[in-house]
A = this chain, B = another copy of it.
Amino acid sequence: MKLTNKGRYAVMAMADLASNSNERPISLSEISIRQNISLAYLEQIFIKLKINNLVKSSRGANGGYTLFKPATEIKISNIINAVDEEVKTLNCKKHSKRGCNNKAVKCITHNLWDQLDQHINGFFEKVKLQDLTKQNQK
């Protein structure tokens, strides 16, 4: 399973966007400063967020990014998946009959990882971006 800075940064940046936007686009340099993430790295992350229809961009001076849809409709899982950080706990291909280690049968721990997978993804499905905005932080 993977969960690294890229995924964390993506969620941080989206939360920043959701917290600070009031219609106007937010530039990456703003986010870079507020969240202390390198601008060039942010750019790479936002390309993926854009491709996945989580944000839209406006170019040129005073440009920046805005959420593509309301923060109530964006799941954390959408963000994580967008930046290629799928939560993958299984070692084998999920929809194959074969197990890991090239065996013909699923291994003894397969069910465990499968359940964990559902457990984690269920969590990411439940939480919305809205839940992370300043307004909702206690």
Which of chain B's residues has its CB closest to A116's CB?
A: B123
A40 within 8 A of B: no
Give the residues from 63 to 114 in chain A that come closer than 8 angstroms, CB to CB, to chain B: 76, 89, 91, 100-103, 107-109, 111-113
On chain A, the number of residues with a Cβ less than 8 Å from chain B's Cβ atoms is: 36
A109 touches B8 (CB 8 A): yes
Which residues of B have CB within 8 Å of A19?
A: 108
A123 touches B119 (CB 8 A): yes
A108-B137, A111-B132, A119-B119 known; 10 new pairs, CB 8 Å cut-off, are: A1-B1, A1-B3, A12-B107, A12-B109, A15-B108, A35-B101, A76-B112, A108-B134, A109-B132, A116-B123
